[in-house]
Amino acid sequence: MQSGQSGQSGQSQQSAGGGVPPEAEGPSRVGAALAAAARGAGDPRRVPVALCTACVRLLPVTGASVSLSGGRGIRVTWCASDRVAARLAELQYTVGEGPCQTALDEGAPVFAADLAGRRDTCRWPIFAHEAVGLGAAAVFSLPLGVTGTAIGTLDLYRDRPGGLSEPDLRTALRVQDAMTDALTNLRPRGEEGETASWVCASQADHTDVQQAVGMVMVQLDLDPEQALDRIRARAFAEGRTVSQAARRVLARGLRLQ
């Protein structure tokens, strides 16, 4: 991680990316900002995007997304602040590598301060190449969860290389904690027993991929990881996301060999 930056550089990053002054920052402020974003969303379907957008305002980053883990190799994008953030989340799931996957595997934050640099390119060669093509120069992934169990990741990207300053890192870790609380405590509004549409959407994508993996397992006599790898490979070759490829498998529009 590259955290040693001059005070002038840190100030310019905060003004350019929307970060708040470190002296005004704190856990209560971060939590209050996310809570206000959730309340201001109005429609429960807009809550996830509102939370991701609030993360961008709190930190000197270009965009943010949250991915939820449904077990080894199965993930869905819960929210994204913009199109590039959403595509980066899907890209990591499709190619099976990247800071997000590493953060899930290690249960610790992962910082890729220069995706075009030798270290990050060697660590995640396919992801780094594709991410730079999408306009991302740096990606920071923080696992979300409690008691050492990651239920997903908060993924932040910037359109220029460089690590987070120490004050920004502290803020990112506070956002990580607050987002974990948001995920575990949010409840859908409406009638009793009604499920918010953002929950339904996440579950639907998760279910589609699981069902597609099951079909490919039967068709090709593969184990779950091998079946998912086949779907990923076809999705990447065709420029699709894993979720899109899974839906094609279920619709009998795609048969893998």
Given 137, 154, 185, the domain boundary residue is 185
Residues 165 and 206 in one domain: no
Residues 153 and 91 in one domain: yes
- Mean of the pLDDT values across residues 99-117? 92
Could you give the percent of the chain with pLDDT greater than 70? 74
| 1 falls within a domain | no
Tell me which of 6 and 57 has the higher pLDDT: 57
What span, in angstroms and rounded, lies between the C-alpha atoms of 30 and 6? Answer: 24
| 255 falls within a domain | no
26 band by pLDDT with thresholds 50, 70 and 90: low
Distance of CA 219 to the CA centre of its chain: 31
Q: Is the pLDDT assigned to residue 43 strictly greater than 90?
A: no
- In 10 A of CB 163, how many CB atoms? 19
Q: Measuring CA to CA, which residue among 205, 206, 188 is closest to residue 197?
A: 188
Residues 50 and 102 in one domain: yes
- In 10 A of CB 214, how many CB atoms? 14
The amino acid sitting at 182 is A
CATH (domain of 87): 3.30.450.40
Given 130, 150, 185, the domain boundary residue is 185
Given 185, 212, 227, the domain boundary residue is 185
| 73 falls within a domain | yes
Q: For 197-249, how does the pLDDT look when each residue is reduced to its tens digit (9 = 90+)?
A: 444 444 445 567 767 777 777 777 877 777 777 777 777 777 777 777 777 88
Residues 43 and 162 in one domain: yes
Identify the domain containing residue 210 by its residue range: 197-250
| 177 falls within a domain | yes
Residues 143 and 213 in one domain: no
Look up the pTM and report it: 0.68
Residues 60 and 83 in one domain: yes
Q: Measuring CA to CA, which residue among 74, 71, 144, 66 is closest to residue 107?
A: 144
pLDDT of residue 194: 40
| Count of structural domains within the chain | 2
Provide the sign of the torsion angle of the four alpha carbons 216, 217, 222, 223, taken in this order.
positive
CATH (domain of 229): 1.10.10
Q: Is the pLDDT assigned to residue 4 strictly greater than 60?
A: no
